[in-house]
Chains A and B, each alone.
Chain A
């Protein structure tokens, strides 16, 4: 039985097969409310027994019209909306968006701001990968991994809360800087976190990496070839898992990534296991980057001081100087003033390359803002990978692609 959604040409084949062998294909709606579709993804599967003969991802259950919303508010006001894109790494989204707008304004932020942003990005990466790892554990049936990784995420959330005032929806960056400087002693606490995190990470990964059941479930499953990975526009660990050493932090460095030493892990076969290994190694590399940043943490301002029309002045200045008061008022009501033009910037987020394409006609509000979300592009390969897989493989493939529907549907 074909559904209303679906595959008219396959329906004919099914009928022929049914007449010949007296079998019937079954269509199965996996999602939108299903424990392992990680949110509200819906897969319309066509099954021959337990083998998936066709997979139709149906998106849009979490569509909120973020891109249109952006056209109706100032640049700073959109920062909280970026939290809700990839809600597992809001800090990284904040940074990517801020850098995109700063590129439009041709603004250079000071080294301290860049350093803070790098720490934010890398901690967000650890946090997102930890969740991806834990959720993947659940997908293949290892529950405890999830809770071990959440214990570490809890520590990260404490750090985020100290830095931004919020655990989850951080809204930390502003155009031209960050909302506030790092609190006293925060850097030390980040350093301590890194020190205790690495052994725990090894412990967590040890539960899975050499586990025979886990390797049976993931090795040789959901293989994405190098060509396919590039052809379908995959980015992030999914692309690197297929053996392409592409990382925007190295290939198009931003926010001072050039000065830090780190390796790009790549897979060899491009199966679920390789993607899992890539994520594990990326967490180690993130710790390495954070340690380097902490070692040479720059002093100075945490925002672009010369950009008076873009970064709202500090409160004490607003209350003492007329000019600053006017600036604050203008930035709050009209938004940070941008030149007319078009700009595209993408950053290496935990899930892949998160891009912002901004068209400005001048003023404080974007004319058009397009978000290139890595999860959406990564999911595009799903019909191809799921073809011929088993139902349980679909779950393990979905988990290994590690997507977030908030970003996918926007």
Chain B
């Protein structure tokens, strides 16, 4: 198959198509996650969960009851509800900012994914090419820079609502997101110190991180979660806080702040916040997996290229670049979904921290830990390369 016609298209058309692809991929996954959340919470709590909805026209299809029991159609019903129900704007809100907030929440959530590589394939020259919208050198920096803009949407929503609960939620959110960003950034520095050690590549690209974890040999093929477990742990905890998930869901803790920053929102605007939260979760999990869990490599010490080469002996089409790309994406998405399952598992198991405890953990425990971690690895790497 020849895809060269695609590269002959004008740049703006290509970019538009790529942008659309992002939305078309992220939105359904985020929506499916909201469904999964309901189903998984139901299974954790010993109840069936949504299992009734089915479009009447489809009810005759044999075997479709499996999808019905899994609540797949509930997803469409939910989405349709958000679009069609009344979209109230309470009196006394600052209308411009009130409407701008959910849109602002979506922008960083969708744009960070552009620098996340989803897989890789071998081109005709035998060179590994990442499947990514923008394989920029500053990859991770771009993720951090853009995703931290998400806090503006939360503050704006809290402030523009002209209501006290959203206001408190917005204040909490701003403090929390800023505190945990620090430890999150510090926790990934050892990874890049390791990669960029004297004689290294000098990059922040996420693709290169995965490449680094795909090298031959015992230390080359080890995922960073084995070599830097503390970094991975700090990153994971900070990720929970950054994505406002329980036990750190201070900005929206429903037992004391009703709905937090989105108390006054309804219908489609509320669902935009919701989808943005899930997009953050997906991108956050993706980055976590790229950094610490080997990206699209199926197992530690087993790289994607190796496994495709092994498969090529059995399956004739496995040598095709498309197969390798698809396999890589499938493995990567599988890991992301498991990570999201982990998020949900934690949410439905643990109680919620108090606001001051969240700040204590962020500043007094996680930050010193990540600094110590950084110093230890810096010294270790310096000694190794001496």
Contacts and interface: CB of A to CB of B under 8 A. Distances in A.
A216 B357 contact: yes
A216 B255 contact: no
Interface in A191-238: 207-208, 211, 213-214, 216-217
A392 B250 CA distance: 10
Interface in A68-126: none
B357 A144 contact: no
Interface residues of B, number: 27
Nearest to A45: B164
B44 A144 contact: yes
B201 interface: no
A81 to B, nearest CB: 31
Interface string B349-364: 1111111110000000
Interface residues of A, number: 30
Contact of A142 (B168, B254, B350): B350
B356 A216 contact: no
Given A28-B164, A147-B46, A216-B357, A392 B350 contact: no
Interface stretch (A132-140, A243-251, A287-295, A368-376): A132-140
Contacts of A34: 258
Contacts, number: 79
A263 to B, nearest CB: 28
Contact of A390 (B164, B247, B352, B355): B355
A129 B355 CA distance: 28
Contacts of A142: 349-352
A260 interface: no
A323 B356 CA distance: 72
Contacts of B246: 141
Contacts of A28: 164-165, 168
A391 interface: yes
B355 A141 contact: no
Nearest to B249: A141
Interface string A11-44: 0000000000000001010000011100000000
Contacts of B255: 35-36, 138-141, 392, 395
Contacts of A144: 41, 44-45, 348-349
B353 A143 contact: no
Given A141-B247, A217-B354, A395 B256 contact: yes
B47 interface: yes
Interface in B240-265: 246-247, 249, 253-258
A357 interface: no
A143 B256 contact: no
Contacts of B351: 137, 140-142, 208, 211, 213-214, 217
Contacts of B254: 35
Contacts of B355: 50, 390-392
B354 A216 contact: yes
A211 B41 CA distance: 19
B46 A151 contact: yes
Given A144-B348, A213-B351, A392-B253, 19 more contacts: A35-B258, A137-B351, A139-B255, A140-B351, A140-B352, A141-B255, A141-B351, A142-B349, A142-B352, A144-B44, A147-B46, A207-B349, A211-B350, A216-B357, A217-B354, A391-B257, A392-B255, A392-B256, A395-B256
22 contacts: A26-B164, A34-B258, A138-B255, A140-B255, A140-B352, A141-B247, A141-B249, A141-B255, A141-B352, A142-B350, A142-B352, A144-B41, A147-B45, A148-B45, A208-B351, A211-B350, A213-B353, A216-B353, A217-B354, A390-B354, A391-B257, A394-B256
